[in-house]
A and B are shown apart, each in its own frame.
Chain A
Amino acid sequence: MKKWIIGIYCLVLNLVVQAQTGDLQPLNRVYAVTHAFIVPKPGMLLTDATIVVRDGVIEAIGNQVSIPVDAQIIDADSMYVYAGFIDALSEAGIKKQEEEQGARGRGRAATPPDNSPLTNTKSGVTPEIEVASQLDPSASDLGAMRKLGFTTLNIVPEGRMIPGMSAAVELHGSQANEMILKANSGLYTQFRGAENRKYPGTTIAVMSKWRDFYKNAEAAMHHETMYAEDPTGLPRPSYDAATQAMYPVIKKEVPVIFETPDILSMYRAMDVQKDLGFNIVLANVKEGYLFTDVIKSNQVPLILSLDLPKKMEEEKKGDAKKERGGMEKGDDRKEKPKMEKKDQPDDPETAQLKAKQKAEVEKREKQAATLTQAGIPFSFGSKGARNSEIKANLNRMIKAGLTEEQALASLTTEPAKLLKLDRQLGTLEKGKIANLLVSTGPYFDEKTEVRYVFVDGSKYEYESKPKPKPGSNDASAQKSALGTWEYTIDVPNQSVEGKMIFSMDGREIKGEISNASSGDETKPLNNVTVSGTVMTFDMDYDMGGNSMNLQYELNLDGDNLDGQVMVGSFGTFKVKGKRISKPN
């Protein structure tokens, strides 16, 4: 995986650098977005309205707004304007943390085991860590989230049991500290054991350590308080950063954001909370519909996951086929002893198992709607979800019963309230921070694209995505693409090289791509289509949990190809290639 990061990261980093050394500076920070459909808050719609932002703050909004003379005007006729989305649980922008190389592989430890006394840090208890220290403002997933319409992310640091304090981060700025809107928005914690075979390793040890650590922190706080009032006669406190970081939590000024992606972890988080008494938020919730009674009676704030399991399609080829081993008579394809039967109906057992699986997927899709029906409010968090799927997942939830209004609220007003930033964020009102999302239509419509995003009143503009040419995918056209190709992508100051391999899989063409630094490791290409001499495909690239989609469009000419690849919002770059071997 690391080699891929180096390969594509270089490509992307170059593009980011490009953007920054771009020569255009904004003229001023005053904008008027006019003639738009404006949704100041969920459930309210202004038609043909205007919103004016100045120096990062909303100056005016309404139908009768007079446009200031120094405003840059954006005619947003038939576009929709929403308050910028707030992601209540994100891991975007976090630099991957170097972990101590522990013993790997079976057998004896490769390095002699470390039996020095266990510190809080070694145990994974690091509440003193702040997001600012781990945030990389140039990380591409920040930009990717912004392109979806998010303006504020509640980012959590990376770590083990208690990785540190989360922070609300505005998606604009080149220095980490500039971007922090609110540090210490919550204490992030998860059921993840320490590295290097250290205590606590398992869930039960994490729960035990939580109680130990918290109680000792309470005692330390008491000690420090007494000592500050009157030190005489008392031993002096040991001012431990990790312990001190807990004081706001103990005082209930900062909530604990507990990541609980399944029903059992929710019970366990609440068990710890009941023992210790801190304020709790349950985050990355996927099975909340099994916990409604407890959530309701304890009024627990929730952050639902934007991730959903794959939708179960009715596949023609796929699970239904009965694979056969052994050789078929006269079959000289010794490489592939298996033959796939298509369109075979499932036996009753498999049909029943699939039905149960499908019902489970549907329950997850319906989670948001179920909670709303139970009168439980929630925010959304993107941690663990692929960027490219967020909008599609929201639409699946809407199809399963969540109203668009509720979806919008969970992306704006609810997280603003959760983060105690509702005086500045969540709705479009005079005086609030100028975080706007401008889309070509109602946000949840499939064809709608995000055209502008304003963060702290600074404008970001996005061109519309070129649509992939619909392919006829006829066999002769496909044949011209088959084989192994060497390619080069021209990026300023650099070029990315690698191989692409296209082969037939039944009646469909499939492709894989590798780059020079990843060696033989390949990634699959999606939607490979050949129409005449034009081949298009796209590829997903995950970096730190957020993903980008690279779109290729190539012309085939004998054993040569040339074309372009579009890399997110950074633009398109030339691709050249040569076939080096044909398929057998």
Chain B
Amino acid sequence: MNYKNSISIALLLAACLLQGNVKAQLMSKAVKGTFALTHATIHTITKGDIQDGTVVIQDGKIQAVGAGIATPAGAQVIDCTGKEIYPGLIDAGTHLGLSEVSSVSLTEDYNEIGDLIPEMQALTAVNPNSAAIPVTRVNGVTTVLTMPSGGRFPGTAALIDLNGYTPDQMYAGFKVVVLNWPSSGGFGRFDRRSPEDRKKAEEKALKDLNAYWDQAKEFAALDAAAKKSGQPRKTDYNPAMEALMPVVNGEASLLIEVNKDKDILSALRWIKEKKAKAILGGVSEGWRVADSIAAAGIPVLVGPVIDLPTRPSDRYDAPYANPGKLKAAGVKIAIRTMQTENVRNLPYHAGFAAAYGLGKEEALKAVTIYPAEIFGVADQLGSIEKGKRADLIVTDGDPFETKTNIEKVFIQGWEVPMDSRHIQLYNEFLDRQPGLKK
């Protein structure tokens, strides 16, 4: 938002204030309708760029896209001459909506007690009114995977669109059980365990994991038998097993959080043996074993990209270059920030990845179509094609560049207000009244 624009908005708001009781802190509303965005450069992602093109949004979907398309009657026409249109950016891993102030533990909702709790639903704990959500979407990030973390199976992550007042309104059609792979590395500065202790802990954790998996297979077998015979399945209430059943049956995906190179290799072997439908997340040392990941054909949600290297002997740009190296080896990647309140920086993570080897085109795909494909929602998201959901952003340039203004954001066909707490504070305090002298 540049200086001049925000002054205009400030004046406009001031004008509204004179009218009555409208509190300046309230957000303006999202608007649904039929829109025609005309004369734009459209980056479809999957079908190349369209110059001087038009996108028509109707009933929440992209009704039409192309050059020289007729504008439907009654549509609100938005002249986008000189502007670019991109799909809304997708962050493949966050805690957005699940934590409000990280130092206040009771505002943190993504880390529940227990080692085997895959049934915990991140979706229902999402706070649709989190101050961070508007802050995120005004930067062009429209859809995020928001995740639980904690024990071995900390819960089920959910893909959400950043528009709506209930989690169901926000739900974007994909959920995934999360598995935190037993780590052989240290937990940072405060981990004072000896290497022997760490090794023992890792072996025990792997043993437990296999025990969980085996019981889930048992459960699935009982369920299959019951279904076959038409009888009700007689098992005690066991939500964890219920949640794992589709995963062990290979029907639902399993998101495995793993970072150390050795651990990635052991996870890949385990995935193969268990025949799990897996996605890897984190993968900060993936560059060391990129060939193995590619050979296994497992997709990766990589990030954060703007991060420190994992070992003191690593080159300084190891995390920046990680996505590029994975891609070069043939791995399918999506980029993520693993942020809570600064998910808005996703385009910059993608920009750094681009600058350090991934290239702009692949980086753009890694925050649009690739995550959509990995999450199995590519029929709805990830590119600007007719029939897909209208998650779009209108910019005056490359969305990865900080200088670029995100001018309009459409989510699920709604034009969301370009407003957030940060913008409101800017408007209030840029020229504070009263100023120095009351």
- Tell me the A residues contacting B by CB distance below 8 Å: 322-327, 329, 334-338, 349, 353
* B residues neighboring A (CB under 8 Å): 182, 184, 202-203, 206-207, 210, 262-263, 265-267, 269-270, 273, 288, 313
Name which of A327, A329, A336 has the most chain B CB atoms within 10 A of its CB. Answer: A327
> Which residue from A324, A329, A337 sits with its C-beta under 8 Å from B210?
A337
- The CA of A336 and the CA of B184, in the complex, are separated in Å by 15
**Given the known A-B contacts A326-B273, A327-B273, are A337 and B203 also in contact in the complex, defined by CB atoms under 8 Å?**
yes
Q: Is the CB–CB distance between A327 and B210 below 8 Å?
A: yes
Classify the secondary structure of A's interface with B. Answer: loop
| A325 → B minimal CB distance (Å) | 3
Cβ contacts A to B, 25 pairs, < 8 Å = A323-B262, A324-B265, A324-B266, A324-B269, A325-B182, A325-B202, A325-B206, A325-B263, A325-B267, A325-B270, A326-B206, A326-B270, A326-B273, A327-B210, A327-B273, A329-B273, A334-B210, A335-B207, A336-B203, A337-B203, A337-B206, A337-B207, A337-B210, A338-B203, A349-B288
Q: How far is the CA of A325 from the CA of B202 in the complex (A)?
A: 9
Q: A337-B210, A353-B313 are in contact. Are A326 and B269 (CB under 8 A)?
A: yes
Contacts of A322 in B (CB 8 A): 262
List of A residues within 8 angstroms of B270 by Cβ: 325-326
A337→B184 CA distance, assembly (Å):
14
Query: Given that A324-B265, A324-B266, A325-B263 are contacting pairs, would A334 and B273 also be in contact in the complex, using a CB cutoff of 8 Å?
Result: no
Question: Which residue of B269, B288, B313 contacts A325 across the interface (Cβ within 8 Å)?
Answer: B269
For A323, A326, A334, A337, which residue has the most chain B Cβ atoms within 10 angstroms?
Answer: A326
Contacts of B206 in A (CB 8 A): 325-326, 337
Contacts of A325 in B (CB 8 A): 182, 202, 206, 263, 266-267, 269-270
Is A334 a contact partner of B266 (Cβ separation < 8 A)? no
Closest chain B residue to A323 by CB distance?
Answer: B262
Query: Which B residues are CB-close (under 8 A) to A334?
Result: 207, 210
CB proximity of B273 to chain A, nearest CB, Å: 6
Q: Is the interface of B mostly helix, strand, loop or mixed?
A: helix
Alpha-carbon gap, A327 to B203, bound state (A)? 11
CB proximity of A429 to chain B, nearest CB, Å: 50
Residues of B within 8 A of A323 (CB): 184, 262, 266
Please give, as numbers and ranges, the residues of chain A lying within 8 Å of B267 by CB-CB distance. 325
B203 partner residues in chain A, CB cutoff 8 A: 336-338
Who on chain A is nearest to B313 by CB? A353
Is A326 a contact partner of B266 (Cβ separation < 8 A)? yes
Name which residue of chain A comes closest to B270, CB basis.
A326
A329 to B272: give the CA distance in the assembly, Å. 12
The interface residues of chain A lying within 8 Å CB-to-CB of B210 are 327, 334, 337
* Nearest Cβ on chain A to B76's Cβ, whole angstroms: 57
Q: Which A residues lie within 8 Å of B266 (CB)? A: 323-326
A398 to chain B, nearest CB (A): 32
Q: What's the Cα separation between A332 and B288 when bound, in Å?
A: 31
Give complex CA distance A329, B206 in Å: 16
- Which residue of the partner chain B has the closest CB to A336? B203
Q: A329's closest neighbor in chain B, by CB?
A: B273
- Residues from chain B with a CB closer than 8 A to the CB of A349 are 288
A1 CB to closest chain B CB (Å) equals: 14
For A347, the closest partner residue in chain B by CB is B288
Contacts of B273 in A (CB 8 A): 326-327, 329
What separation, in Å, do the CA atoms of A325 and B203 have in the docked complex?
Answer: 8
A-chain residues with CB within 8 Å of residue B184 when the two chains form the complex: 323
Residues of B within 8 A of A326 (CB): 206, 266, 269-270, 273
Smallest CB-CB separation from A106: which chain B residue?
B190
How far does the alpha carbon of A329 sit from the alpha carbon of B273 in the complex, in Å? 9
Residues of B contacting A327 with CB < 8 Å? Answer: 210, 273
Q: Give bound CA distance, A408 to B265, whole Å.
A: 53
Known: A324-B265, A325-B267, A326-B206. 13 other contacts (CB 8 A): A323-B184, A323-B262, A325-B263, A325-B266, A325-B269, A325-B270, A326-B273, A327-B210, A329-B273, A335-B207, A336-B203, A337-B207, A338-B203
Write the nearest CB–CB distance from B21 to chain A, whole angstroms: 48
Closest 10 CB pairs of A and B: A325-B266, A326-B270, A326-B269, A337-B206, A326-B266, A325-B206, A353-B313, A326-B273, A324-B266, A323-B262
Q: How far is the CA of A326 from the CA of B269 in the complex (A)?
A: 7
Cβ contacts under 8 Å, A353 to chain B: 313
From residue B231, how far is it (CB to closest CB) to chain A in Å? Answer: 33
Q: How far is the CA of A373 from the CA of B18 in the complex (A)?
A: 87
Contacts of A337 in B (CB 8 A): 203, 206-207, 210
Smallest CB separation, B56 vs chain A (Å):
51
- Chain B hits for A329, CB < 8 A: 273
